[in-house]
Amino acid sequence: METIIYNVACNIFSVSADEKFLRLLTNYEPFVVKGTAGMSAESVGEKPAFALEVVSEGAAPEYAEETRQQDEGQEIVCGHTAAGDSVFDFFLGKSRSGVLVCSDGYRRGKLYLSGYADKFAIDNSLMVMYALATAGSGTALFHSAIVSQDGRGYMFLGKSGTGKSTHARLWLRHIEGAELVNDDNPVVRLQPDGAWVYGSPWSGKTPCYRNVAVPLGGIVLLSQAPYNRITRLSGVQAYAALVPSISGKRWDRAVADGLHATENALAMGVKVWHLECLPDEEAARLCFETVKGENK
């Protein structure tokens, strides 16, 4: 078994697995901490956010189900063991891909692979552990698309099918200097100088795994409409716009409290808008001119 150490949004974590499984993690390569081959995460010099061990032998422990989450042919069954460890059972279609068992506040995880869709199970395990283990450190894993322009990042939120990726592509096509940072799961982290948004190893259907960071210039909630109109949100409206797009186990009090603190800070410190729009150039330019104007 080998160990590789990664750094995503200034959060250190490690993955220990047989080489054949580590070779699957090509999307994580930009985030490898260089010069740490053979080292443990603890020896890097910073306290690691979490460590994941991946095994292909042995049976996962029995667990009591708490809830299920389904999305586009994927399902996660959440539960807990008799000892109180958290369990996440991953299914792709109707087939089990792997069972993740977490302990020590999600800082320790063991993934039992089933031999079906191993990469799917590893990716989902790392996303779950990342979102939960970092919730108390001013970090949030978003479901959104993010573009950068002139040194700032602009994040597009909305329900699945709303057009986040489409709107990001419109910026890339029509807004000079716009670049895609991440198309599905960027990370936002509160730093002493404000909120920053980071690329991540998780980017949905668009392979965009960039280890980059930019100050967060604005957040735009999208909704489809037969016209283009943008409205500034503040207070409770801004907070409510953020919550559905942030990953987290909100029935866990410690996780929920950490995410609330981050969401509250973002709602108060970052400009948030609601863009009702068509999927056209006019919508992209209206959005850009509004959010850019606020940052001059």
Amino acid 70: pLDDT: 85
Q: What is the DSSP letter of 47?
A: -
Cβ(200)–Cβ(8) below 8 Å? yes
Domains of the chain from N-terminus onward:
2-133 (no CATH), 140-294 (3.90.228.20)
Distance between CA atoms of residues 171 and 288, nearest Å = 8
Q: d(Cα 287, Cα 229) in Å, to the nearest integer? A: 9
pTM (predicted TM-score) = 0.93
**Given this model, what pLDDT does residue 150 score?**
94
| Distance, CA of 60 to chain centre | 26
Q: Which residues of the chain have pLDDT under 50?
A: none
Amino acid 113: pLDDT = 97
Residue 72 confidence (pLDDT):
76
- Please calculate the CA angle 30-266-46 and round it to the nearest 5 degrees: 40
* Tokens coding 161: 């099918």
| CA angle, 93 then 244 then 119, to 5° | 35
> In this predicted structure, what is the pLDDT of residue 38?
62
pLDDT at 47: 80
pLDDT at 78: 96
Q: What pLDDT, on a 0 to 100 scale, did the predictor assign at position 46?
A: 66
